[in-house]
Structure 1
Amino acid sequence: MSNQSKNLRLISLDALRGFDMFWIMSGEHIIHALAETTHIPAFEWMSEQLHHTAWNGITFYDMIFPLFLFIAGASMPFSMQKKLQHFAVEEPFQLPSESKNALYWSMIQRTFKLILLGMIVNGLLKWNGYEQTRIASVLGRIGLAWLFAGFIYLNGNTKTQVFWFCFILLFYWVVMKLVPVPGFGAGVLTKDGSLASYVDRLFLPGRLHSKVFDPEGLLSTIPAIGTALLGVFTTTFLKSSYFEQRYAKIGIITLAGLALLLIGLVWDFSFPINKRLWTSSFVCVVGGFSMLFFVIFYLIIDIWGFQKWASPFIWIGSNSILIYMASEGMVNFGYTANFLFGGIISHLPEHWHHVLTACSVTFLQIILLKILYKNKVFLKV
């Protein structure tokens, strides 16, 4: 890969981030509505995939959050490249201490902002007292996992980073299986009996998501660092000079993704695939799928140059945190969509009202995001 191509921003990352966020912001409601209205088997299967598993196992919906975290890690080597060029160094760990300290402070600030925004999504501004305030959140986990993945990225070469990735997954496996929980014993991977749940009950401030555990809790954030590191590894390899042929790199990333899937499926026999506990097998499986999704988007958008179809995803991905917060209850898109399109929908066949209403919400969101994108208005954290 040429030096020029190394410095290019990957449009596919923005598009993949938007594709990921699309399902959370309203895309899932369109599929659910289509399944209920048409009873077409394909839509019913997709609707099932857009629900979280009850506990062990995995669906497409379980992959949305870790895919976003994978993308956050994958963006890191690109966000650091100006620093590397400025100091004429090849690796981030070679940056001078003064520059690293400034980066640390900037990263810590960003993490605290994400924790705060996550608490706002949880209802912080309603303020029902400290005991009713949930500290843990999706945005908070993204911030913390990204932060520690960044510390590892800035302080070691690729071999060191891979060591930390393996150590994190193995350490989490060992403690979850061998450390006993009072009243339950060791290796009980249930909502109330797991070590991760016990640690949250002991040390996580405020209110838990459920009374006995929190899916974005303290101990289960540790393996999430590995998810971000997989994103770092992917784009670090893509930017490297080991292979000049991009298709060779795509092939290797694809094989790595498939290998991770296999490792995760085998590990599942001992350490079940579980999103809420963010088990090590879950990290491997969603990491493998994330690599495969990335390869598809990178191939179509950045290599073959087919970008227009992805424009709505790019608009979403460029303001992903904004639309996430808005769609999580801070903006009533349904009310506005009904005000604008409700009259038209009421004159169409009643059988399709649910589908058309869901589509009108998505249409409104995408138009808003397009306007923000065209005017270069972005929520930066």
Structure 2
Amino acid sequence: MQKRFYSLDVFRGATVAFMILVNNPGSWANLYAPLEHAPWHGCTPTDLVFPFFLFAVGNAMSFVMPRLQEAGTPAFLKKVVTRSLLIFLIGFFLNWSPFIRWNDDHLTFKAWEYAGANGALVGIRILGVLQRIALSYFFASLIIYFFKIRGAFVTAITLLLFYWAMTFLLGSAADPYSMNGYFGVQVDKAILGESHMYHGEGVAFDPEGITSTLTSIVQVIFGYFVGFYIQQKGKNYEMLAHLLIAGCILIFTGYAWDMTFPINKKIWTSSYVLYTTGLAILVLSVCILLIEFKDAKGIWSRFFDVFGKNALFIFFLSGFLPRVIALFRWVDHYDDKGEKVYTSALPWFYQHVCKPVSANLKNGSLLYAICMIAFYWLIVYIMDRKKIYIKV
């Protein structure tokens, strides 16, 4: 197996760090524009985080696939199925955790389905970020293992075109690329059920839904291609030049496709895959140039590297820990009606430490997010010093 490029680990770690930053603001109502998702069509820096991580999953896969191929098909299937299932179940566990919730002044078990605050039936979300990673990794692994490089490339292009055709032909005639017109919503409702879908948009709509997973698989395959190519060509400027050219071509193609199939993270359009993959290649190329060619390693690279060494674990912890902490609450004050207003450690920290630092509430919200990065970095730094690496 070829020697691993340190720049790939730094790229993955930086992606995880940015993921923690955008997922942990002090206030969702006070965000700087680059730290918000695009309302629908379009792409902000925040919309790059998830596809960059899937791209990094493909990179990592290119280094372990030769070993899995040597072990034979039964060993390969056992490894891939087990890992995919574990990641999926961890994501589902995260959605359900911490299994209890506050219902007025008492704790109750968070049932599979229960009445929400407005009386509507809500339930445990089935899909999510880790679940999409699991499914994308699983199918990309099978495609690459059984179809090889050329077959995987043909499959990837076919999936992008097929998804475009399905979205256009099966969607609403008025606007097949709108939230209400997107055909995948009906598929998710039929299979998952409305109560087990994401409701952050105000309606039952899952941004990690079943149908849009088709194109997220391609993101992993493209990541694999880049990792494979880097290993085959070795550390030279020709390899770097080819990566830069490929990145620019994909960005241009994504922009061109955007005119008929808009760049959109929430339905993971084919143009979005090409555009974000192109940007991922450019960012990775810069990392390779700085680290592998210029040897510009230092505090910045070590900072991100420790995130990359425990990437899935720290992502899980950053979602799980705030939910557990929120169970330990106390009365902060009483509102105008004399009703109790509760708080817990993390909201208190934002309200009383971060928020007062500036009249611009966005600054306090950003400061809180930076503090969260520092907190989780300290955890993975200690783990790295003790050589503790939690792999799935």
Displacement of 1:128 after TM fit?
2.0
Displacement of 1:342 after TM fit?
11
Q: Which amino acid aligns with 1:69?
A: L
Distance 1:12 1:30, change over 3 A: farther
Q: Which amino acid aligns with 2:256?
A: V
Q: Which amino acid aligns with 2:206?
A: D
Q: In the alignment, is the contact (CA less than 8 A) between 2:24 and 2:372 conserved in 1?
A: no
Distance 1:190 1:212, change over 3 A: farther
Q: Is the partner of 2:38 in helix, strand or coil?
A: coil
Displacement of 1:174 after TM fit?
0.7
Distance 1:27 1:371, change over 3 A: farther
Distance 1:186 1:106, change over 3 A: farther
Q: In the alignment, is the contact (CA less than 8 A) between 1:75 and 1:232 conserved in 2?
A: yes
Displacement of 1:337 after TM fit?
11
Q: In the alignment, is the contact (CA less than 8 A) between 1:176 and 1:187 conserved in 2?
A: no
Q: Is the partner of 1:7 in helix, strand or coil?
A: coil
Number of equivalenced pairs:
344
Q: Does 1:363 align with 2:374?
A: yes
Q: TM-score, normalised by structure 1?
A: 0.81
Q: CA RMSD of the aligned region, Å?
A: 3.0
What CA distance in whole angstroms lies between the structure 2 residues aligned with 1:375 and 1:322?
15
Q: Give the match for residue 14 of structure 1.
A: 9
Match of 2:197 among 180, 184, 208: 208
Match of 1:222 among 205, 214, 218: 214
Match of 1:103 among 61, 66, 76: 76
Q: In the alignment, is the contact (CA less than 8 A) between 2:21 and 2:372 conserved in 1?
A: yes
Displacement of 1:157 after TM fit?
3.0
Q: Is the partner of 2:196 in helix, strand or coil?
A: coil
What CA distance in whole angstroms lies between the structure 2 residues aligned with 1:245 and 1:11?
12
Displacement of 1:194 after TM fit?
0.8
Q: What does 1:127-142 correspond to in 2, within 5 Å?
A: 127-130=110-113, 132-142=123-133
Q: Which has the higher strand share?
A: 2
Q: Which has the higher helix share?
A: 1
Q: Is the partner of 2:208 in helix, strand or coil?
A: coil
Q: Give the match for residue 86 of structure 2.
A: 113
What CA distance in whole angstroms lies between the structure 2 residues aligned with 1:351 and 1:199?
46
What CA distance in whole angstroms lies between the structure 2 residues aligned with 1:174 and 1:266?
17
Q: Give the match for residue 3 of structure 1.
A: none
Displacement of 1:303 after TM fit?
2.8
- Once the two structures are superposed, residues 28-58 of structure 1 have per-residue CA deviations (whole angstroms, 9 ceiling, x without a partner) of 768999xx8xxxxxxx9xx311110010111
Q: Does 1:69 align with 2:42?
A: no
Q: TM-score, normalised by structure 2?
A: 0.79
Percent of aligned pairs sharing the same letter:
27
Q: Is the partner of 2:285 in helix, strand or coil?
A: helix
What CA distance in whole angstroms lies between the structure 2 residues aligned with 1:274 and 1:222?
14
Match of 1:251 among 241, 248, 272: 241
Q: In the alignment, is the contact (CA less than 8 A) between 2:318 and 2:376 conserved in 1?
A: no
Q: Give the match for residue 41 of structure 1.
A: none
Q: Is the partner of 1:380 in helix, strand or coil?
A: coil
In structure 2, stretches of 5+ residues that fail to align are 100-109, 114-121, 327-343
In structure 1, stretches of 5+ residues that fail to align are 1-5, 37-43, 88-94
Q: What does 1:221-370 correspond to in 2, within 5 Å?
A: 221-240=213-232, 243=233, 246-308=236-298, 309-331=300-322, 332=325, 335=345, 350-351=357-358, 354=364, 357-370=368-381
Q: In the alignment, is the contact (CA less than 8 A) between 1:73 and 1:230 conserved in 2?
A: yes
What CA distance in whole angstroms lies between the structure 2 residues aligned with 1:245 and 1:120?
41
Q: Is the partner of 1:276 in helix, strand or coil?
A: coil
What CA distance in whole angstroms lies between the structure 2 residues aligned with 1:208 and 1:115?
16
- Once the two structures are superposed, residues 284-317 of structure 1 have per-residue CA deviations (whole angstroms, 9 ceiling, x without a partner) of 0001011111111122122322222211101111
Q: Give the match for residue 92 of structure 1.
A: none
What CA distance in whole angstroms lies between the structure 1 residues aligned with 2:258 and 2:370?
38
What CA distance in whole angstroms lies between the structure 2 residues aligned with 1:288 and 1:32?
31
Q: Which amino acid aligns with 1:209?
A: Y
